[in-house]
């Protein structure tokens, strides 16, 4: 039976809540899920919370909340609420009428540090960003701290800001344009040097090493990055992330060979 604003479906392995109306604002529920369900995943227009018998309070509260929204627009049978709460341990899938847009807010701390807040939070986005940007990234309770110490790293961030398709996640960038331009600004002399940068210098940048580093340190760094970027590491993830890892892994391998041949 189709309801105008919301449907509640009892599957064998999951409880599916379909919200069919864009007028029903569940922004607060998204924040609640982000704060209390670390294992959730977000795929296009659905929020997925895996099955678990842990975290009873938050799972029960969420189901009560969804039921209250449902009952405002419908006249459910008295048994529905009880049946719904008995399924607290099963997976919960919330389907929205449109894709979830992740808001990415940037705050410039100094000439090397950027704080990035993603709403709603999603661990998969952090993994994709780390893979693409290849910068020092620290996950803190409410934001990601990015350390961009080289022109190459800033260039990668600038490329990300100019494209909405790189990580294949619907998102919108929010930042102060003047502050960000100042953060990316490079004097003319440095710009000229970047234009004529050699393949060998670029290779050292990709490995985040310096030409004065010994070969033993370079090999150690290569093994570390190869392990982080190997496609097998994300074999269970979506196709886009596997492709991204494959490209970055190939780039790393080519740069490592350039450095070895120059030694």
Q: What is the average pLDDT value for the chain, to the nearest integer? A: 84
Q: What is the per-residue pLDDT across 33-66, written as a single tens digit (0 to 9) for each?
A: 878 888 888 888 888 999 998 889 999 999 999 9
Q: What is the per-residue pLDDT across 62-75, written as a single tens digit (0 to 9) for each?
A: 999 999 888 887 88
Q: What is the per-residue pLDDT across 147-161, written as a single tens digit (0 to 9) for each?
A: 998 888 898 898 888
Q: How confident is the model at residue 17 (pLDDT cuts 50, 70, 90)?
A: very high
The secondary structure of the chain in percent helix, strand, coil, rounded to multiples of 5, reads 50, 20, 35
Look at residue 146 and tell me whether its pLDDT is greater than 90. yes
Q: How confident is the model at residue 13 (pLDDT cuts 50, 70, 90)?
A: very high
Class of the domain covering 102-184: alpha beta
Contact between 142 and 110 under an 8 Å Cβ cutoff? The reply is no
Contact between 93 and 16 under an 8 Å Cβ cutoff? The reply is yes
Look at residue 2 and tell me whether its pLDDT is greater than 50. no
Give the pLDDT mean for 81-101.
Answer: 90
Q: How confident is the model at residue 116 (pLDDT cuts 50, 70, 90)?
A: very high
* CA 72 – CA 149 distance, rounded (Å): 53
* CA 109 – CA 143 distance, rounded (Å): 13
Q: CATH 1.10.287.110 occupies which residues in the chain? A: 197-262
* CA 91 – CA 12 distance, rounded (Å): 10
Look at residue 4 and tell me whether its pLDDT is greater than 70. no
Q: CATH 3.30.70 occupies which residues in the chain? A: 102-184
Look at residue 115 and tell me whether its pLDDT is greater than 80. yes
Query: What 3-state class would DSSP assign to 192?
Result: helix
Q: What is the per-residue pLDDT across 172-196, written as a single tens digit (0 to 9) for each?
A: 899 998 899 889 875 544 444 445 6
Beta bridge partners of 94: 17, 47
Look at residue 136 and tell me whether its pLDDT is greater than 90. no
Sign of CA dihedral 53, 56, 62, 66: positive
Q: How confident is the model at residue 142 (pLDDT cuts 50, 70, 90)?
A: confident
Query: From the centroid of its chain, how far is CA 144?
Result: 10
pLDDT value for 105: 92
Give the other-Cβ count within 10 Å of 263's Cβ.
Answer: 6
Who's near 47: CB < 8 A, 6+ residues apart? 30, 33, 40, 41, 93, 94, 96, 100, 120
Q: Averaging pLDDT over each range in 11-15, 124-128, 181-185, which range is the top one?
A: 11-15
Q: What is the per-residue pLDDT across 241-258, written as a single tens digit (0 to 9) for each?
A: 888 888 888 988 999 999
Look at residue 213 and tell me whether its pLDDT is greater than 80. yes
pLDDT value for 63: 93
Contact between 119 and 32 under an 8 Å Cβ cutoff? The reply is no
* CA 263 – CA 128 distance, rounded (Å): 33
- Quickly name the fold that domain 197-262 has: Helix Hairpins (1.10.287)
* CA 245 – CA 234 distance, rounded (Å): 8
Percentage of the chain beyond pLDDT 90 is 25
């Amino acid at each position: 039976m189709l309801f105008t604003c919301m449907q509640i479906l009892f599957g064998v392995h999951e409880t599916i809540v379909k919200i069919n109306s864009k007028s029903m604002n569940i922004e607060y529920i998204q924040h609640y899920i982000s704060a209390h369900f670390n294992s959730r995943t977000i795929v296009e227009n659905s929020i997925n919370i895996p099955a678990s018998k842990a975290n009873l309070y938050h799972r029960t509260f969420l189901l009560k909340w969804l039921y209250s929204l449902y009952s405002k627009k419908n006249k459910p049978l008295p048994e529905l609420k009880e049946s719904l709460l008995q399924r607290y341990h099963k997976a919960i899938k919330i389907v929205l009428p449109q894709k979830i847009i992740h808001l990415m807010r940037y705050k410039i701390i100094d000439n090397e540090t950027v704080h990035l807040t993603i709403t709603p939070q999603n661990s998969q986005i952090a993994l994709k960003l780390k893979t693409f940007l290849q910068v020092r990234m620290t996950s803190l309770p409410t934001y990601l701290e990015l350390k961009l110490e080289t022109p190459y790293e800033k260039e990668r961030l600038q490329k990300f800001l100019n494209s909405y398709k790189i990580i294949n996640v619907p998102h919108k960038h929010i930042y102060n344009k003047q502050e960000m331009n100042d953060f990316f600004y490079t004097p003319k002399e440095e710009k000229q040097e970047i234009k004529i940068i050699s393949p060998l210098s670029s290779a050292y940048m990709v490995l985040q090493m310096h030409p004065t580093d010994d070969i033993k340190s370079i090999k150690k760094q290569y093994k570390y990055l190869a392990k982080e970027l190997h496609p097998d590491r994300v074999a269970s993830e979506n196709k886009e992330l596997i492709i991204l890892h494959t490209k970055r892994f190939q780039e790393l391998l080519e740069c490592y060979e350039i450095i070895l041949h120059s030694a």
